[in-house]
């Protein structure tokens, strides 16, 4: 778990190897450890996070964690709020698709589970509804994958089961 220490207006988050964290633009990753490196003549302390689904490793300087949005995984209460959001009524604005797509991407990249759930809810199509465009489908799948990743960690289930659970909620809504 991440611990918060406050010293002179600085909030310091510390993660241990094995902790699951969320990086807003990449989703759920796992902390591999803390490393010290010298980059450009500066000694930096870096949190090393791996993202299995992207086969990517990210090194975030500890002094940039707050700005980057790196955070611990949401609480069960926040995830319950996100699932409740899925049950709500889809709100599709009548603005141009390019504008809505930008708003959806911003919500996904915010890393906020409730905002991501709004995207999933708004872009979900039930049987008998009009087909999605290719870009709508891509954004929907990205949002669903991001939300399922965090649900899986919070509920200690695999990502496929989390995706099935979210889709079941959407079908019932």
Over the stretch 43-94, which tens digit does the pLDDT of each residue have? 989 999 999 877 899 999 988 888 888 999 999 999 999 999 999 988 877 8
Residue 3 is inside which H or E element, if any? strand 3-7
pTM: 0.84
Same domain, 66 and 17: yes
The β-bridge relationship of strands 71-72 and 20-23 is: antiparallel
Same domain, 55 and 81: no
Which CATH number do you get for residue 8?
2.40.10.170
Q: Where are the beta strands (DSSP E) in 9-143?
A: 10-14, 20-23, 27-39, 42-51, 56-61, 71-72
Look at the chain and report how many structural domains it folds into. 2
The pLDDT of residue 7 is above 50: no
Same domain, 83 and 160: yes
Which CATH number do you get for residue 100?
1.20.58.1290
CB contact at 8 A, 82 and 91: no
Same domain, 7 and 51: yes
Residues 11-22: what's their mean pLDDT?
A: 79
Phi, psi of 73 (to 5 degrees): -65, 145
Same domain, 47 and 132: no
* The pLDDT of residue 13: 56
Beta bridge partners of 72: 21
Same domain, 37 and 122: no
- Containing structural domain, residue 88: 76-172
Quick one: angle between helices 113-123 and 97-110, nearest 10? 150
* The pLDDT of residue 91: 84
């Amino acid at each position: 778990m991440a611990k918060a220490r406050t010293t002179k207006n600085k909030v310091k988050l510390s993660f241990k190897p094995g902790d699951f964290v969320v990086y807003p633009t990449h989703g759920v990753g796992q902390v591999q450890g803390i490393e010290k490196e010298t980059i450009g003549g500066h000694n930096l302390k870096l949190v090393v996070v791996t993202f299995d689904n992207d086969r990517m490793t990210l090194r975030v300087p500890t002094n940039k964690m707050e700005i980057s949005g790196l955070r611990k995984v949401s609480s069960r209460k926040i995830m319950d709020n996100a699932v409740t959001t899925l049950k709500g009524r889809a709100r599709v604005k009548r603005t141009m698709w390019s504008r809505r797509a930008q708003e959806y991407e911003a919500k996904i990249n915010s890393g906020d589970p409730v905002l991501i759930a709004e995207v999933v809810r708004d872009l979900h199509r039930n049987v008998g509804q009009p087909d999605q465009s290719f870009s709508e489908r891509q954004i929907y799948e990205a949002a669903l994958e991001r939300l399922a990743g965090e649900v899986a960690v919070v509920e200690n289930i695999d990502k496929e089961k989390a995706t099935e659970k979210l889709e079941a909620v959407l079908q019932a809504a």
